[in-house]
Amino acid sequence: MSNRTTLTHFLLLGFSDVWELQILHFLVFLVIYLAALMENLLIILAVDLAHHLHTPMYLFLVNLSLIDLRLISVTILKSMVNSLINSSSISYAACVTKIFFLIFLMGADFSLLTIMAYNRYITICQPLHYESVKNRKACVQMAASAWIGGFLYFALHTGNTFAVTFCAGNMVDQFFCEIPQLLKLACSNLYFSEIRALIFSACIV
């Protein structure tokens, strides 16, 4: 039988082991992160301050900015910290949490973009029906359904990933916790589980 030890942490293989390059990666990611942070906060602030922008499309745009803020924070913050302190370790619980938020936010992002496309379709193709179809209650329900869609997307993928036993080491060939890389560390053959997850993902997308 293979050796099945309980994992307490993973090692994220970053871009380089050279300290100077790690500092460069930190600075590059910091610039990207601050630019994304400022861009999304400006969108939220502009919509909040301008009352004539309190329309369905801008409500969805604010939700999209909130998702993007959280998505970039989940993806690169740990990598930035690891580069700065010259570490590659992440605890099992932190990895699960990151995957939860990453998948949850990606699912919500897909759902929200679909809703925004539908909103534009109604505006362009059925302008006379727009007010009756897209009232405030309907918009709030659609935005809520995007977040619920993200939760369903997360439940499938995260449950499928962390139900397995990891026995092929703890080195993740990525700078953040990502499901395909984690599944390479699993003991059993997950081919059919992955196919089911991909089919469900395709339906959601």
pTM higher than 0.85 for the full model? no
Residue type at 17 in one-letter notation? D
Average pLDDT (173-180) is 74
What confidence category does residue 3 fall into, taking pLDDT thresholds of 50, 70 and 90? very low
- In terms of Cα–Cα distance, which of 16, 34, 180 is closest to 99? 180
pLDDT digits (tens, 9 = 90+) for 142-161: 778 777 777 777 777 666 66
Domains annotated on the chain, with CATH: 9-204 (1.20.1070.10)
Are 26 and 80 in contact by the 8 Å Cβ rule? The answer is: yes
pLDDT digits (tens, 9 = 90+) for 24-57: 888 998 999 999 999 999 999 999 998 888 877 8
Pull the structure tokens for residue 160: 């499928």
pLDDT > 80? residue 173: no
Residue 130's pLDDT is 72
Are 77 and 128 in contact by the 8 Å Cβ rule? The answer is: no
Q: Whole-angstrom Cα distance, residue 75 to residue 35?
A: 15
